[in-house]
């Protein structure tokens, strides 16, 4: 059982680590960005409301995000744990998540913040490509597809997201600093926040996350003795 939240600016590696935890621990990787894009792609009511904010690189309003996440967290596979990627992004969202988990008799094991400098974020995102069919992510410098601009998994042509173009990335980083930074203070006061250098390599970051969560689990077991 593992319930973790991964925080960090756009391009810090939250999705990569959440996917790695999904494979290693057998828990779902729940990414608010992927859920939002799926709603936009399927032209749902929520997707139509969220799209203008996403296109401008702004945060989608809390009520829309909470509606979407409440539905996802109620699905059967999320009952055994999860790695949340991109949610919560505000203190209000964190408080709402805490209330929902309390009602379910659950609690978070840890909140992981991946620290990555702004210049590195810009480099990562400018070279990132995604598959619109299976959501696979590539980095053209460090993790390119075998065939140029073609997904290894399904053969679909890769795309660059509108919100990962340089001008929008700059706006996203500004929004992150203004609106999401207080979330770190909130979780720090809750005793859940752990900060990890997000530039030490994927495997090293994963090992650090696993060590933190395993340490928390061991501490709970000792308290029960």
Cβ-in-10-Å burial (0-12, 13-18, 19+) of 56 comes to middle
Catalytic positions are 14, 89, 128, 161, 172
> Residues 6 or more apart from 74 whose CB is under 8 A from it?
none
Whether omega for the bond prior to residue 88 falls within 30 degrees of 0, making it cis, is yes
Alpha helix segments (H runs only) across the chain? 14-25, 32-41, 45-55, 62-73, 91-103, 118-126, 166-175, 181-189, 202-224
- β-pair partners for 4: 83, 110
C-alpha to C-alpha distance for 10 and 160, rounded to whole angstroms: 14
């Amino acid at each position: 059982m593992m319930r973790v939240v991964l925080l960090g600016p756009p391009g810090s590696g939250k999705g990569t680590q959440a996917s790695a935890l999904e494979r290693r621990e057998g828990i779902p990787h729940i990414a608010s960005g992927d859920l939002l894009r799926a709603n936009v792609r399927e032209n749902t009511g929520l997707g139509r409301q969220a799209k203008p904010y996403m296109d401008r690189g702004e945060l989608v309003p809390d009520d829309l995000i909470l509606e979407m996440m409440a539905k996802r967290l109620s699905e059967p596979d999320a009952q055994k744990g999860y790695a949340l990627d991109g949610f919560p992004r505000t203190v209000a969202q964190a408080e709402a998540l805490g209330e929902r988990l309390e009602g379910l008799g659950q609690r978070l094991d840890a909140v992981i913040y991946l620290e990555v400098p702004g210049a590195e974020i810009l480099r990562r995102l400018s070279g990132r490509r995604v598959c619109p069919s299976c959501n696979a992510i590539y980095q053209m410098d460090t993790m390119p597809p075998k065939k140029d601009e073609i997904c290894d998994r399904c053969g679909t042509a890769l795309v660059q997201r509108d919100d990962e173009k340089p001008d929008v990335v700059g706006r996203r980083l500004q929004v992150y600093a203004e609106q999401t930074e207080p979330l770190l203070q909130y979780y720090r006061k809750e005793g859940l926040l752990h900060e990890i250098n997000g530039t030490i390599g994927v495997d090293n970051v994963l090992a650090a996350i696993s060590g933190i969560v395993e340490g928390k689990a061991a501490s709970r077991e000792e308290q029960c003795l």
